[in-house]
Amino acid sequence: MRRITSILPIVLGTFLSFPGSGSADLADVHLPVIPRTEAEAARIASVVTPTTRFDKAEQFEGNPAGAATVRVIKNRNAFSQPSGNISFEKELDFKVGNGLFKKLWVSSPSSTLASDGLGPLFNARACQRCHLKDGRGHPPEGPEDNATSMLMRVSIPGGPTPQEIADYIATRDDPVYGGQIQDFSVAGVAAEARIEITYIEQVIPLSGGETASLRAPHYDLTNLGYGPLNPDIMISPRVAPQMIGLGLLDAIPAADILARADPDDANGDGISGRAQIVMSAEYGVPMLGRFGLKAGKPSVWEQSAAAFSGDIGISSPLHPAGYGDCTAAQEKCRTAPNGNTAAHDDAEIGEVGLELVSFYSSNLGVPARRDINDPQVLRGKQVFYEAGCISCHTPKHVTHRLEDQPEQSFQLIWPYTDLLLHDMGPGLADNRPEARATGQEWRTPPLWGIGLTETVSGHTYFLHDGRARNLLEAVLWHGGEAEPHKQSVIDMPPPDRAALIRFLESL
């Protein structure tokens, strides 16, 4: 693959290992990095230090993606604009990638050789079907609701090799149902299951006589197409996250993220952020996990390839099996026709197509902030900072200097995430480990654009499975390391709580 061979000298010249096993160095081998000077590093350290003044907005705060920030469009296309600093020539690549992102795949064999290969098992026929308008998905509203973007990851305990058991919290794909449940299939192949959800309401008393109601979900897999579930199966429901700013998150130096990790809570602040470390399928070396709800993928490229394979059943040079997530126990699925062809690098989407989709995904622009000098927004920002929310939702980062990648190069960005894993307590636990993430740990999600969710997606469902129906509910589901911070929100005067939500809505 072109991307691998071009980076090979860097890989061979860099010593990599898992933190805790000899070295904490993890090279960003997927990026054309220009090293920072000492003077730049010192300047960056002063710039990203959290503010202690809340009388007015900070310099550049209105541009959360730096020069890549885009203007606010007050309709469903707010998340579908290219990076604000993209060139005219690269905007064509963005638009072609958008076409591939939206393309509806069909089953094989088909006369449309550039679009066949769907499935045999799948959750959606296009990337856009889950990431509607490049925004957030939502859980099913009822048993007949097929217009959702929820999927169910599955695994069972145990690792196939001693090294995996030593290096990971060992799990492996279910031998019958694979790595995730696909609820659709092509003709002649049985779908795996349907996801059914029931909720129990919990009333939470708040200060000032106010209350909030949280809905606790219970999940069932029904209409099983391949026999009973393994009694030890672990499930993890996921809804599709928003797509904006991914290339900028990809360009934050791994060293900066690792510097914020405190797995043993050495500073005693109760926050124990841990780095997710995953083996790169592209480079064959350990890398920092950044993408996915438990940071299971190290780059936009690998996240895109994995989604094509698992969600749509489309093979790529990184995942060349034409049968996608079908297991050996699913014989008809394994032997169904596929669309692998030499014209597409012996896959169903070739390297060029995957590169274009990754470029599109990396350059979906982050809209500008709104009302940054509104007094209530400023008060909400102060509440957010003083309540300790920035312990995980780190406000600012500066990206790598990158050769021939100006859209993400050396930008001051405000994503409000540390990209680390945090224990969120039993209330949010899926009890399914993923690589080094435990069953109670989740990656801190970026908050930029969160206030435009309803505009883009038509709903205000948040968290990994969409259980929270608004931002206050999302805050109140926090537990574990965030328990004291959640409690402070419960106890604070109602005007401060309202200001906090107003600040989040401005992001």
pLDDT (tens digit, 9 = 90+) per residue, 456-500?
999 999 999 999 999 999 999 999 999 999 999 999 999 999 999
| Residue 266 CB contacts under 8 Å (≥ 6 apart), including other chains | none
**Regarding predicted confidence, which is higher, 4 or 181?**
181
Question: Between the CA atoms of 259, 265, 269 and 274, what dihedral angle is there, to the nearest 10 degrees?
Answer: 50
pLDDT of residue 303: 98
Beta carbons of 119 and 185 less than 8 angstroms apart: yes
Cβ–Cβ < 8 Å for 16, 24: no
What distance in Å separates the CA atoms of residue 63 and residue 84, rounded to the nearest whole number? 10
**pLDDT above 70: residue 324:** yes
Short-list 96, 137, 112, CA closest to 311: 137
What is the pLDDT at residue 9? 35
Mean per-residue pLDDT over the chain, rounded: 92
Tens digits of residue pLDDT in 15-52: 333 443 333 468 899 999 999 999 999 999 999 999 99
Domain boundaries along the sequence of the chain: 2-506
pTM tops 0.85: yes
The pLDDT confidence band at residue 409, using thresholds 50, 70 and 90, is very high
**CA dist., res. 497 & res. 454, Å (int):** 20
Total residue length of the chain? 507
How confident is the model at residue 425, as a pLDDT? Answer: 97
Per-residue pLDDT of 343-394, as tens digits, reads 999 999 999 999 999 999 999 999 999 999 999 999 999 999 999 999 999 9
- HEC sequence for 133-188: HHCCCCCCCCCCCCCCCEEEEEEEECCCCHHHHHHCCCEECECCCECEECCEECCC
Nearest to 184 by CA among 102, 128, 110, 107: 107
Mean pLDDT of 302-309: 97
Q: Given this model, what pLDDT does residue 165 score? A: 53
Which three-class secondary structure state does DSSP give residue 104? coil
Task: HSE, CB side, 13 Å, CA atoms: give it for residue 424.
Answer: 25
> Strands 194-205 and 211-222: what pairing?
antiparallel
Q: What is the pLDDT of residue 141?
A: 80
Among the residue ranges 143-152, 201-210, 335-344, 434-443, the one predicted with the least confidence is 143-152
Q: With contact defined as beta carbons under 8 Å apart, do 364 and 102 qualify?
A: no
Share of the chain above pLDDT 90, in %: 88
Burial class, 162, CB count within 10 angstroms (exposed 0-12 / middle 13-18 / buried 19+) = exposed
φ, ψ at 243 (rounded to 5°): -105, -5
Sorted by sequence, the CB contacts under 8 Å of residue 261 that are 6+ apart come out as: 19, 273, 274, 275, 420
Q: Cis peptide leading into 109, omega within 30 of 0? A: yes
Give residue 160's pLDDT band: very low, low, confident or very high (50, 70, 90). low
pLDDT band at 275; cut points 50, 70, 90:
very high
